Amino acid sequence: MTLKPPVLLAPLAGITDLPFRQLVSRFGAGLVVSEMVASQEMVQAKPGVREKAELGFGQGNTAVQLAGREAHWMAEAARVVEDNGAQIIDINMGCPAKKVTSASGAGASGSALMRDLDHALSLIEAVVGAVSIPVTLKCRLGWDDECRNAADLARRAEAAGAQMVTIHGRTRQQFYKGHANWDAIAEVKQAVSIPVIANGDIVDSASARAALAASGADGVMVGRGAQGQPWLLARIAADIYGTPAPKVPKGRELAEMVAGHFEAMLAFYGARLGNKMARKHLGWYLDRAGDPAGLRRRLQTENNNDEVLRMIADAFATSSMEAA
């Protein structure tokens, strides 16, 4: 499995949906990863679940991320997405959300699996054994500072057939506080021969270079830094790996891009829900542009989609927004 460039888009619940992943892909990214999909719900086809994985079907630069705690459902979900054309399956063992990690929530999955590596390994083995496409893993440094076992998990995952591992440089108990420890990812890199990707606090080319230097990783994964600037991954790739630099849209081109993103969300979710789901993205675009027309509140509360499109043109047509 070769990812060129090795600059990846992280899975972010409620953010890296089909329209956003497609937009990031158009600018240029080595891999984009779907929102986390609950394996049992995927197999049972609960409303809205399969749509989250839709971009993974038939596209080579996309991974579908599965989460769960039971080997049976993980394997069955892997078969479902492979049968639908997924090219890569990523296993989530890094989500820190309480509803995912608590036994009363989703069944102690996500980063909670790092507290029981034998059980975590059984899930990896089940998924690898169920499909013929590459299987990767995303996790944290460990559950807490007393249980920092990412290197051990990576070694066992490699032995089970995982072909890449991405490490967020925090423990679960840190959530997103403090700073990502890129130095600690170096231990994982030294423990395995498969590619290791560094994740956490990578928001521009400078932080990407620093993460690579500290960790020795084979690439970087960008998450929240891409909010409001879907060209960021392509910019990082150009600065570090010499790929073609993206043309950062300004003025009318920026307004057209934001409008296109908004319309794509309406098409994907439907007019009413799409409007609501798009509001956070419009806010992030305005954060980058400085809200030149002073339309933030109206733009994020307007229910008439034609009016939203008109305001997008007014808000961004004179912007000279630059990537970080």
| CA–CA distance, 197 with 264 (Å, rounded to integer) | 30
Pair 143, 115: CB distance under 8 Å: yes
Q: Which of 109, 108, 106, 81 is nearest to 93 (CA)?
A: 109
Q: Which of 95, 100, 126, 188 is catalytic?
A: 95
> Which CA distances in Å does 89 have to 53, 169, 307?
10, 21, 40
Q: Which two tokens stand for residue 103?
A: 């036994």
| Secondary structure E strands in 230-303 | none
Pair 218, 197: CB distance under 8 Å: yes
Residue 95 annotated in active site: yes
Pair 149, 187: CB distance under 8 Å: no
| CA–CA distance, 117 with 296 (Å, rounded to integer) | 47
Q: Which residues are catalytic?
A: 95
